[in-house]
Every structure is written in C-alpha cells, then in structure tokens.
Amino acid sequence: MSTESVSLTVGVPRESYVGERRVALIPNSIGPLKKAGLNVVIESNAGMEAGFTDQDYVAAGAQVSSRADVFAAANILFQVRAAGANRLAGASDLNLYRAGQWLIGLCDPFSEPALMSGLAERGVSCFALELLPRITRAQSMDVLSSMASIAGYKAVLLAAERLPRLFPMMMTAAGTISPAKVFVMGVGVAGLQAIATARRLGAVVKAYDIRPTVKDEVLSLGAKFVELDLKTDDAAGAGGYAKAMDEEFYRRQRELLTQVVAESDVVITTAAVPGKKAPMLVTADMVRKMPNRALLIDLAAEQGGNCELTRPNETVVENGVSIAGVVNLPATVPFHASQMYAKNVSTFLLSQVKNGQLALNRADELVSNTLVTHAGQVVHPRIREILGLPPVATEPPPAENPSTAGPGG
C-alpha cells in the first residue's frame, strides 16, 4: 500500500486528570478533520462531562471505542491535559503510546521534564501547545488565550457569589448600595476578561500590570489603570508576555500596591510567566490590611500563586479575608471550553497536514516552538537544558512525513 493511501486517525482519549471535564474534540470539529482525509476515534464517554454523547460523535462520523483501542488505532492523539499537565494519572498511559505517534495538547513540559523524557523513549512526537509563539498565524491555535479568557470570566463569577455584598451600585427604597471595588492584577487575556466581566456586573474596577502598554486596553473597558513609580520599559518579554523581574522590583511593587489592595473588596491575581514560578505579588501583610470578608481569587495558584498565602485547590482565611487558590477553572465550563479547545487543537493539526498526510516541517515556527520530543529524543532546547542534556544541532532537518507508522508499528 502506498504512503499516500494510508488513512490517518485522530484519537481522543477520555481525560484522566482529577476534576477535568473538558474533552479535546467536540462533534462539530470532526467535519474539518474528515474533509482533510483524517479518521476520528474517541474513547466511550469522553465527551459526556462536557455535554457530548457517544451518539453525537457517531453521528458526526467518529468511531467510539475503548481507551486501549483509541491509543492502538491513532496516529495522532488529542488530549487536554497530558504528560506534565497530568502528572499523576498521565504516567499510566505511557505504555499505551507507540513510536511514530503525534501527541498534541497541554503538556506543562517545564514542570515535569522527566515525563517528556518518557515520551521521547516511546518514540512519540509531542507538541506542547502552551509553547505556541505569540504570532498572528498562531492566534487561532492559542489554547492558553482561549482557556485564560474562560478563567478570567469565571473568577469574577466566583467572587460575586462568595463576596457578602453586591457588585453593582443600586438605588433602592432602603437606600443606596455602593458598588464593590475590584482590583485585577495582571492584564493578560484572563485579566482583561476579568475586568470586562466585573464591569458588566457593575463593580468599580482598577487594574495593574507591569507592562505600561496595556493601559489603553484597561481604559477601553471602563476600568482605571494603576500606575506606579517603577521602571517598566523592559517589562514586556517575548510574545508580549510579562517578563520575570528581579526580587527588588517585586518588593518595591508590593510596597506601592499595598494601599490599592487594602481598599479593595475583591482582588483577582492573574500574573504568570511561562516556564517559571508565578511572581509573588501579595504578601500576607497586604492581605491583613484588606477589609473584613474581602476576597482574593488567585488564578496563578497552579503555578505557585501570586499571593503568599495561596494554597492550590484550597480557600485559606486570614484575618477575615478569604484567599481562593482556584485551579483549572476552564474545566468548570466544559461545554464552551471544549468547543474553544477543539477549534484550537484541530487548527494546529490541519496546519501540519498536506494531502491527507502529516508533513512535519521543523523549520516552521509553529513546530520549532512546540515540538518537545521527536524521533526518540527530547528536542526542545529549554527542556534539554533543564534535563542537563547537550544542545541539539541548530540546523533543523528537512520536512518529514512520519505517517507511515501505522497501528502497532
């Protein structure tokens, strides 16, 4: 049988991360894959928590099967949380992967580089989508932005539910109710969505970011931008992300932000630096200056937290202030989170498919940034450095077509 006649199969296992309700592919996303000449097999009940039945997938043209059969049949695997992003349960899948398979998903390679070595040993080509470059061509594939938008929205809803006061100003027969004061720290995608949602609910919103270039975006949403007497000319890192600063900068920043935090009913922290521990923006002393029954929602809890008191998956109460270390908020809105994720991951794969076959072009910026393991080794420079491995050759090899590795091969 010729290489051109081999039909590739996309496999979608059910997510095994505790509390994960998303699915990597929804029925409506199967059509474009089929049109490109790809088959789809999905584990039974993989989409149930997100609102998609096995019958929905069958009607869209997918085959429903067992987990072992999905791994055995697939040339390409879509997962929401794989490898380091599913560090506890993900290791149990390691023996199901085989040489020549592509794995595409969120992999958190910096936190668990040893798991990436395990995938390399299995001969898997692993694409960690959180490493996508911030370029125009990658916007439709940007899973981090999609999920951050949901997290920012849901953080405000959680705050509105838990805060013992109303968000909007109200004129009532019983008197005027003053609006809640919300302070958003970090104006990336999550922060902007948090600002917009809090404003829609009627709160008075302030926001801060070390990148002064985001001021206009904050003002456009009707919030006030907090400006500090700090040198921030070089605060923007690669791809527009905030750059990690030294401890003296953060110390001075905390000192200047103390008063703003102390005046806030709700503080939502969103600051994260890719590949690094989240910066500590709010100290325990700052929390103690907040009003009684105030609330801090820490969206960076999974990366260590922006608040000194944050504990992932817990709510800590300090001097009457609650600090919620929320984790994996997108999974609490699984229907639309899965819809957005499926669009992102499908678009990424289709950018690497030509005439129904995989065409791995390692000179492509999308590939060179996201490809962590390939052909039996860890190939991503930063992960190799973390693992203490020597640099790989700087000249990428020519485009490859790995699709001849069929089931069991």
pLDDT, tens digit (0-9, with 9 covering 90-100), for 101-154: 999 999 999 988 999 999 999 999 999 999 999 999 999 999 999 999 999 999
99: CB partners within 8 A, 6+ apart: 122, 123, 124, 376, 405, 409
Q: How many domains does the chain have?
A: 2
Same domain, 167 and 67: no
The DSSP result for 304-347, as a single string, is T-SBTT--TT-EEEETTEEEE----GGGGSHHHHHHHHHHHHHH
Examine the residue annotation and report whether 142 is marked as an active-site residue of this protein: yes
Of 311, 330, 349, at which residue does a domain stop?
A: 330
Same domain, 342 and 317: no
Sheet holding 224-225: strands in order across? 224-225, 204-208, 181-185, 266-269, 295-298, 321-324, 315-318
Same domain, 181 and 264: yes
Which of 101, 145, 146, 403 is catalytic? The answer is: 145
Same domain, 369 and 223: no
Assigned domain for 139 exists:
no
Assigned domain for 141 exists:
no
Assigned domain for 136 exists:
no
Q: What is the pLDDT of residue 252?
A: 84
Give the three-state DSSP class for 43: strand
Same domain, 316 and 337: no
Q: What is the pLDDT of residue 193?
A: 98
Q: Write out the residue range of the structural domain in which residue 64 sits.
A: 3-131+333-404
Which of 93, 142, 265, 298 is catalytic? The answer is: 142
Q: Distance between CA atoms of 227 and 373, rounded to whole angstroms?
A: 43
Assigned domain for 287 exists:
yes
Which of 139, 140, 178, 259 is catalytic? The answer is: 139
Same domain, 302 and 363: no
Q: What is the pLDDT of residue 402?
A: 46
Assigned domain for 358 exists:
yes
Are the C-beta atoms of residues 78 and 24 closer than 8 Å to each other? yes
Q: Distance between CA atoms of 65 and 45, rounded to whole angstroms?
A: 9
Same domain, 397 and 325: no
Same domain, 324 and 348: no
Of 269, 297, 330, at which residue does a domain stop?
A: 330
Of 330, 346, 375, at which residue does a domain stop?
A: 330
Examine the residue annotation and report whether 254 is marked as an active-site residue of this protein: no
Same domain, 289 and 371: no
Same domain, 118 and 209: no
Which of 56, 67, 241, 252 is catalytic? The answer is: 241
* E strands, 38-194, in order: 38-43, 63-65, 76-81, 102-106, 125-128, 170-172, 175-177, 181-185
Find the CATH number of the domain harbouring 51: 3.40.50.720
Q: Distance between CA atoms of 380 and 240, rounded to whole angstroms?
A: 21
Q: What is the pLDDT of residue 175?
A: 86
Same domain, 12 and 58: yes
Q: What is the pLDDT of residue 158?
A: 97
Examine the residue annotation and report whether 153 is marked as an active-site residue of this protein: no
Assigned domain for 51 exists:
yes
Assigned domain for 30 exists:
yes
Give the three-state DSSP class for 372: strand
Assigned domain for 143 exists:
no
Same domain, 124 and 156: no
pLDDT in tens, the chain (409 residues): 344 456 899 999 999 999 999 999 999 999 999 999 999 999 999 999 999 999 999 999 999 999 999 999 999 999 999 999 998 888 889 999 999 999 999 999 998 899 999 999 999 999 999 999 999 999 999 999 999 999 999 999 999 999 999 999 999 898 899 999 999 999 999 999 999 999 999 999 999 998 888 999 999 999 999 998 876 655 555 455 555 667 787 788 888 899 999 999 999 999 987 778 898 999 999 999 999 999 999 999 999 999 999 999 999 999 999 999 999 999 999 999 999 999 999 999 999 999 889 999 999 999 999 999 999 999 999 999 999 999 986 545 444 554 433 333 3
